[in-house]
Amino acid sequence: MSYARFDDEASYRSGLGQVLALAERTLYVFDRNLADMNFESPALQSALLAFIDRDRGNRLHVLLHDTNALQRHMPRTIALIARFAHAIEVRQVPDEYRHLADCHILADARHGIRRFHTDHPRGSLLIDNPEEVRAWWNRYGELWEQSTPLTLTGTTGL
């Protein structure tokens, strides 16, 4: 069980990689628009693909404040979502929660990385720490239930 603070982009990226590598069944992503998490990077796409390919039952849930960047500027992520529609679901957070400025990735209710504010690379990394992750996990579930599923159009390539 570990808890570590970080305060720079390199430490954040390293922790993000650790959480993705430890994910076994479920990944929860909460972010403003996925651009700050660098979702289009080949390394992150490879980690997500490895997670989804590991088991047909694995799930990736993504909650976003704004879906425009995803729909207009993230072709790799759109292709991944289209290819694994059975395993990936994206939803948009209701307007009344747009003030939430943190972002996080949670894995299996045991691991997580959280930026305290999307504009600053400060936050915490939790590895094998279900007690600490539980509050974020539960909050995510509440937001998920109130959010609107995103319907992606134009992903056929025609």
Quote the pLDDT of residue 125.
Answer: 98
CA atoms within 13 Å, Cβ hemisphere of 61 = 21
User: What CATH architecture does domain 2-149 belong to?
Assistant: 2-Layer Sandwich (3.30)
Q: State how far the Cα of 100 lies from the Cα of 96, in Å rounded to an integer.
A: 9
Model's pTM, two decimal places? 0.92
Confidence label for 154 from pLDDT (cuts 50, 70 and 90): low
Beta strands, E only, 1-157: 2-6, 26-31, 59-64, 88-92, 103-107, 111-117, 120-127, 148-149
Q: What is the pLDDT of residue 151?
A: 85
The residue type at 110:
R
pLDDT at 7: 97
How many of the other CB atoms lie within 10 Å of CB of 96?
8
94-134 pLDDT, tens digit each: 999 999 999 999 999 999 999 999 999 899 999 999 999 99
Residue 156 pLDDT: 47
**Nearest-angstrom CA–CA distance, 111 and 16:** 10
Q: What's the pLDDT score for residue 136?
A: 96
Residue-wise pLDDT for 29-81, tens only, equals 999 999 888 899 999 999 999 999 999 999 999 999 999 999 999 999 999 99
Specify the pLDDT at position 158.
Answer: 41
**Cα dihedral 140→109→70→99 (10° resolution):** 30
Q: Report the distance separating Cα 87 and Cα 61, nearest Å.
A: 8
Average pLDDT, the chain: 94
Domain range summary for the chain, segments of one domain joined by +: 2-149
**What confidence tier does 16 reach under pLDDT thresholds 50, 70, 90?**
very high
Q: Are 97 and 105 in contact (CB under 8 A)?
A: no
Pick from 120, 75, 67: which is nearest to 93 by CA? Answer: 67
Are 16 and 105 contacting, i.e. CB atoms less than 8 angstroms apart?
Answer: yes
Enumerate long-range contacts of 13-16, CB under 8 Å, 24 or more apart. Answer: 13/38, 15/113, 15/125, 16/44, 16/105, 16/113
Residue 54, SS3 per DSSP: helix
